[in-house]
Amino acid sequence: MNKLDKQYQELLMTILEYGVEKKDRTGTGTKSIFGYSIRHKMRDGFPLLTTKKMAIKSLMTELKWFLKGDTNIRYLVENNCKIWNGDAYKNYKLMNLLATDVDYVSMEEFIENIKTDDSFADLYGELGPVYGKQWKKWDKYDHQLTDKEGFPNVKSSVDQIRNLIEQVKDNPDSRRLMVNAWNPGDIDKMVLPPCHYGFQVYTRELNLDERIDIYNEGVNPMSRSNDYFHEHMDVYGIPRREISLMWNQRSVDTFLGLPFNIASYAMLLEIIADEVGMVPGDLIGNLGDVHLYNNHIEQAKEQIKRKPFKLPKIHLIEQDILNGEFDYKIINYESHPTIKAPLSN
């Protein structure tokens, strides 16, 4: 049974029934609730919604962009990922708001210029210190070395992803296995503050029955000692530990954004698990202001009516998490058609 789509449909119904009307920065208006959680066991399938077709390549491209530490949309544009186009175009207009000699280009021309004009892309494709900057290059100052006014003057950076991987390998039971994207000192420099502002991982040892389930051989563990069978599982490369991931999100565009967030963090969990030699466990989302834009209401009602299909599987072909590269194959993804809805930027 596909519990993920059911959870998502229940969330849509909850917002429609109990959501309150709220204004928002886009001027669209929303129905909103505060506080909700989603939980998915990765062994039940890869969490791509089946009640509407998902743009898999776009969400995977954005995740690679984060992991590369990139903050310019050129990489996204070159890979036909449109997620941040509206924010970049809006920022382009704001940057020229007071200029009297600027003829604004259209969105289509803007994107073409990002692709073909290096100087234009450097100036207008930059989104500020958004996710990739915080994940991979969080600013750090050496407080032992100061300038003549007494302020820290030696700056380096923290690669939170690298640190996380090293910490999981060295101390898997630590409660400090976290990555944070909410940097108060950088918020005003970002075109959009982080909606999903941090994540934490948690690992535990698998018991013998769980390892045998993964191996799927049907061996009876009662006939010999647990140590014998654990060693047998080791020979076949069955991990001894499971790793789970929980992300926190302050603002949740439930119809367009949340399905991407779920699948993106699921993919991140798959990659981290592969890097540290563990099995992906649970994926948990803690959601703050959970809303439906008023121009997504009818689309949500349509999606609620649809019967979910079985979740697909994913095969991670290869990955290089520290350089933002991975390859994958989605297996047996069956879905209902796309439901179109306008973006609210």
Determine phi and psi for 77, rounding to 5 degrees: -60, -45
Which pLDDT score is estimated for 330? 96
Please tell me the distance from the alpha carbon of residue 327 to that of residue 317, in angstroms, as a whole number.
5
Which pLDDT score is estimated for 224? 38
Residues of the chain with pLDDT under 70: 100, 142-154, 217-233, 235-236
- CB contact at 8 A, 119 and 72: no
Q: What is the largest CA-CA distance in the chain?
A: 83
Residues recognised as catalytic:
195
CA–CA distances in Å: residue 53 to residues 134, 164, 257, 295: 31, 33, 14, 19
Which pLDDT score is estimated for 273? 95
- Give the E-state strand segments of 30-137 in sequence order: 30-41
Which pLDDT score is estimated for 229? 52
Which pLDDT score is estimated for 217? 43
Give the residue range(s) of CATH 3.30.572.10 domains in the chain.
3-70+157-204+239-331
Burial class of residue 316 (count of CB atoms within 10 Å of its CB; 0-12, 13-18, 19+): middle
- In the chain, the amino acid numbered 195 is C
CATH T-level assignment (fold) for domain 3-70+157-204+239-331:
Thymidylate Synthase; Chain A (3.30.572)
| Sole residue written with tokens 């390549």 | 57
Please tell me the distance from the alpha carbon of residue 296 to that of residue 257, in angstroms, as a whole number.
12
Mode of pairing for the β-strands spanning 279-293 and 241-253: parallel
pTM of the full predicted structure? Answer: 0.91
Residue 9: closest CA among 213, 305, 273, 284: 305
Which pLDDT score is estimated for 115? 96
The torsion defined by the Cα of 43, 49, 53 and 59, in degrees rounded to 10, comes to -80
Which pLDDT score is estimated for 221? 37
Please tell me the distance from the alpha carbon of residue 252 to that of residue 310, in angstroms, as a whole number.
25
Please tell me the distance from the alpha carbon of residue 271 to that of residue 205, in angstroms, as a whole number.
19
Determine phi and psi for 220, rounding to 5 degrees: -85, 110
Angle formed by the axes of helices 257-276 and 3-18, nearest 10°: 140
First to last CA, the chain: 35
Please tell me the distance from the alpha carbon of residue 323 to that of residue 268, in angstroms, as a whole number.
13
- b/e string for 259-274 if b means 16 or more Cβ within 10 A? bbbbbbbbbbbbbbbb
